[in-house]
Every structure is written in C-alpha cells, then in structure tokens.
Amino acid sequence: MRLEYTPLGRFLGFVVFFLFLYSFLFTNVLVAIAGALVLLFMVFSRLQFRDDLQHMGLEVKRDILDRISHKDAPVAVRMEVRAGRPVHISVRDPLPTGFEKGEGSMSGDGWIGPERPLSFTYSIVPRERGETIFEPLDMTITGSRGLLRSKERFDADTRVYVHPSKRELAMAALLGRRKRLEMMKRSSSRQARTQRSDFKSIREYIPGDRFKDIDWKAVSRLTKLMTREFDVESNVPTMILIDASMTMRELVGRFTKLDHSIAVAVQIASVLTSHGNPVGLVKYDEHSVMEHISPGQLELDDLLISMFRMPNPVRTGGYPGYQWDRPRNQGEEELPFMRSIGPFLVGKRTVYDPKRTTGIFEAVRSIGMRDETGMMLLIITDLETSREALLSAASLAKARNHRVMIASAFSWQFHLYKGILNEKVLERMYSDNVSRQGFISNLRDAGVRVIDLSPRERGDALIRAIRRAR
C-alpha cells in the first residue's frame, strides 16, 4: 500500500520543520520539545493508519438492481461500502465501456464504520449488447485524524449481460401472436406433420396470407381485407444458424449486424414455436461451432437466452469489411500459416482445409451427424466470411435433403452514415455489391434461396419466404 500525507499532514510537517529550525537558531528548548511532540504525533498517526488499513475489514458491494438488462434501457446500480474501523473514504465508480451515464452520481464520500456504511445509487444506459465486466473502483481512504490517505483500486467483480432492446423483444412477441405458419406442400422430414382442422377466428390480412383464406363477406362489411384462421397442427423442425464472425460483430456507431440478426432470429423462433414447430439453434464463428441445440431440445425461453448470449461487439476503424479484390499472392502466402494454426483454432481436425475447416461447414456437418434430414435450415449471415465454405456447406445440406434459406445483411446498408460518402467509398461500395451479387447468383444456382436483410426488416419477409418454402 502507498501512503501519502493530506494537505493537513503536509502543513503539520512544515510546522515541525519550522519549530526545529527556530529552536536551532534561537536555542529555545521549549520550541524543540513542541516540535518533537508534533513529530511523535505524526509518527503515531502513520503507524495507526497503517494498522487500520490492514485490519479495517473493508467490504464493497456493487449490486445490479435490474435482474435483466436490456440495450438502451437504464440499469440501476447500488454501491455500498463498509469498514470495521472508522475511516473517511471517497469512492468513484468508472463508467463501463459501451455505457452512458444516466441519473445519480457515480461517486460518494463520507465517514464510514461498522454501523455506518456509505451507499449511493446511480443508473447507466447500455448502448451495446453483450457481456460487460465493470472496472475496479477508485477509492481514497483517509485516516481518522485526517493526516494521511491511501489510494486503492478495489475489484468488486461485477458483470452484467445486456440483452437486445425491449422494443425488439416486443416486436417478436407481437409477431408470435399475429402470424401463423402453414406447410404449403409435402415435407420429406419424418417429423413433419400438418393438419388443417376447424375454423378458429377472423383477423386482419397480413402480406403472405393465402388468397383463398380471405373472407370476402367480412371484407364487404368492414371495407378492409380480412383473413380466416384455422387450427393448424404442424410439427416442422427448423434450424436457425447465426453467423457470429468478426464482420457480423463490427460496431459502427451503436449498431452491429449481429444485433439485428438476433432480433430477427428471436422473431422467427417465436412465430415457429407458437405454432408447434420445433426450433433449433447453431451459433458459429469463422472457425468452429460455438453451440448446437437440436430442434425441440429446449423451451422457447431457454432458446432465446442462448440467442442473446453471443460474443461481444468489436470496435473497428470505420468499416473495413473484407477486401474480396485482394491480390491472389497474398492469399497464397497466408495458406501455409493457416494450415499450421488451423488445428488449434478448430480443435478437432489435423488438416486445414479453407472450404471445410470453417464454422459454417462444421455447423452443417454437425447437423447431419446429430439431427435428421429434411429440415429447414435458416442461415443468417452477411456473406463476408468463408464464402467458399458457405457454398460447400449449402451443397452438403441440399445433398442431405435439407431446404436451405439464407438471410443476408449487406454491410453498407447498416454502416453507411452521412458525412463519409465520397468517391472512394462509392467505389468500394460498388465493388462489394458486385462481388456480393455474383456470390448470391452462385448460391441460387445451387438451389439456395437468398433474402436481403435490410436494417428495417423485422422478419415479415422471412415469414413469407418460410411459408412459401414449406
């Protein structure tokens, strides 16, 4: 521990020096004795303060008062500091990365003791989704006599996981109540069964509803399109694959493509499970599968919690993305290096193959090993990582009788802001779009349906596409 004198302690030190100097110059014994007494008092205070620091039993609690934290919603934090001996303490709680200050003060000071704790409450607003570890507290402890102080950093070991915003979750719940899913044709899955039974109710028309389900009598009476609902029993397994690679987690401003993908996945899962369709989840990154949940293995709530627990966003300088027009010799130089570290990244294979030793190929391969054929695979990705592997994985899925659908987010729609549009940016945007459209054509030639996932998309287009695909 590092001790330092307060302004009062430094003043007393100057008094001691002045008294000794005065007694030396004027040979005054009484002044020398007074200086010695003040010096002894300062030495005793230092020894006592050091003993207080070693035995004061400091207890610090930092409690998150909100059981579940959401993006853009204030999070209440309560600080409480106790000590076994009377000391004066000043506490400052640093603002965590990715948060903004809300109401209340993030610092406090005062005298504390065994029955007199120091406590204060404040709020912070998270602007990023993911897990955040709070920084250690900055504390200044002052002795009971006010002569010395010690600056300490105390780690309260506080973590908070920020889920997507409440607005996104409310939209998912709304879609789950309003939308329905029907199989339009025979499925090859052994689990898929559908039966249309009795009339249920009438509701407003939603784009994607079948034309023959429109109730024309109600239309003429209410002057708006109305759709008849029937009780539909179906059991169609669907696997949602979410790409959590670096390009999906790029944070520009306050938004990432992965955040939007999670919101859309939540909505799709809510719609499917609300009508008896088992839903599974696979999370993968550039090199491996992070988590595999088979359809029907977990309840909806547990499945949503797993969706929320994604890797944290990453900050980059602007939008680097991926240069698809990079020189070929650069890729050839990287291949020997990747072959050497590939087994350590994946953890299973001993031979690195850029088309197979990837997260998406491992995900489809694990589905083939653990789940049955004939499922609907919904892949949410930006098509910027492991393109060749994605095409190989789609071909493998089609060979195993899976229907593959890709919801793709074009990065420039998410990360283009005013003030950065210039000739160089336009050229890069055009080059990326040409490369992207060419790859999408290859996917469609392989029998994969690709749907653009814009920042404003809330799952309607995907619901309509899933209806038609079934």
Cα 84 to Cα 116: distance, rounded to the nearest angstrom: 10
Instruction: Give phi and psi for 426, each to the nearest 5.
Output: -65, -40
Residues whose CB is less than 8 angstroms from the CB of residue 356 and which lie 6 or more positions away in sequence, other chains included: 349, 389, 392
At 45-55, the pLDDT tens digits run 888 888 888 88
Which 8-state DSSP code applies to residue 96? P
Q: 3-state SS of 354-420?
A: CCCCCHHHHHHHHHHHHCCCCCEEEEEECCCCCHHHHHHHHHHHHHCCCEEEEEECCHHHHHCCCCC
pTM across the whole model: 0.59
* pLDDT band of 187, cuts 50, 70, 90: very low
Residue 187, token pair as written in the block: 């499925």
Helices and strands (H and E) in the chain: how many: 12, 22
Residue 449, token pair as written in the block: 């349906």
Residue 470 pLDDT greater than 70, yes or no: no
Residue 174 pLDDT greater than 70, yes or no: no
Residue 181, token pair as written in the block: 């899913």
Average pLDDT over residues 99-106: 89
Average pLDDT over residues 8-12: 90
Residue 335 pLDDT greater than 70, yes or no: no
Residue 124 pLDDT greater than 60, yes or no: yes
At 288-323, the pLDDT tens digits run 888 899 888 887 777 877 887 788 777 665 554 444
- Determine how many CB atoms are found less than 10 A away from the CB of residue 343: 14
Region of poorest pLDDT, from 23-37, 99-113, 349-363, 420-434: 349-363
Average pLDDT, the chain: 78
Strand positions, DSSP E, 159-268: 159-163, 194-204, 226-234, 238-243, 250-251
